[in-house]
Structure 1
Amino acid sequence: MPAEMNALGPTFDAAADAKKPKYEIYGFVIYIVSYLLFVLYLGWAYIPDGVLHSIGVTYYPSRYWAIALPAWGAMLVVFIYLVFYAHNFLNTPPLYSYTTITDQYASINPNVSHDYLDPDAIPEIQDISISQANAYLHQ
């Protein structure tokens, strides 16, 4: 049933809202399933073959993958960070590029104060002159 409007805003039908699934339940189920899968992984990695065969588990992946997959996952995370930084460096113009120089025709707002004495102040995004940047960096 759609929400109805009154003077204070939309009203909702509590009975219809109670029938909808709650996302907290989904999160709890995923939490429990992830722990069960982790216990299964640890069992597969550490329980000897004889014990697994005695309880009827005869088909499972090689133990090589118990070490290889987490190691590959860790290296994938490191690789993603390196690729992210490399991508940002490639997209950053060099210091001698004309796109890093401002002049009187750039979008500088003359009404904004450029004194950076207040460390809590966040200036608006704009181009600043190279002399102001040098004065700030080399005080």
Structure 2
Amino acid sequence: MGEHTPAPSPGRSYYGFVLYLLGWACIITYLIWAMVPHSYLSSLGLTYIPQPYWALAFPTVMITLVLVFVFLIYPSINFLLAIPPHDIRNISDGMALKEEDYSHDGRFTVPPVYDLNISQVCRDLHMS
């Protein structure tokens, strides 16, 4: 098995360089399409390209779709996946670590991490 490392291997570096060149080619093509007059491009024989209006409309539509996803759809999906507030799993579950699970023989210089009992939390927060 190969070693898993984030260092670029030769194959990944080739793909990265090709994507770098492709990205710059797309940016330059987009800027030419957006900035150069359509009549000049038509005189060069480029009559099949979209109107320059779409150079502004397409990114605007894409940004709008991303914002709708980020502010509406993604939070809605998270609300659907969240358990209801009255569910007992919000208080404790089968993976909870209790203080009783640890032996207190003085080995720990730092106290172990464990889940607090909900009655202790309420007592500490509200009965001070």
TM-score between the two structures when normalised by the length of structure 1: 0.59
Q: What residue is the counterpart of 2:87 in the other structure?
A: 97
CA distance 1:24–1:60, change in 2 (3 Å): same
> Once superposed, what is the RMSD of the aligned Cα atoms?
3.7
Aligned length: 111
Pairing partner for 1:42 from 8, 25, 31 = 31
User: Between Structure 1 and Structure 2, which shows a larger proportion of helix residues?
Assistant: 2
CA distance 1:111–1:43, change in 2 (3 Å): same
* Contiguous gaps of at least 5 residues in structure 1: 4-20, 114-120
Pairing partner for 1:85 from 75, 89, 114 = 75
Q: What residue is the counterpart of 1:31 in the other structure?
A: 20
CA-to-partner distance for each residue in 1:49-101, whole Å, 9 max, x for gaps?
22212323222112232122211221222233232222112222232233334
Cα deviation for residue 107 of structure 1 reads: 4.5
Determine the C-alpha separation between the residues in 2 that align with 1:70 and 1:39: 15
Structure 2 residue identity aligned to 1:35? W
Query: Are positions 1:131 and 2:125 aligned together?
Result: no
Q: What residue is the counterpart of 1:56 in the other structure?
A: 45
Pairing partner for 2:57 from 56, 68, 74 = 68
| Percent pairwise identity | 31
* Contiguous gaps of at least 5 residues in structure 2: 3-9, 104-110
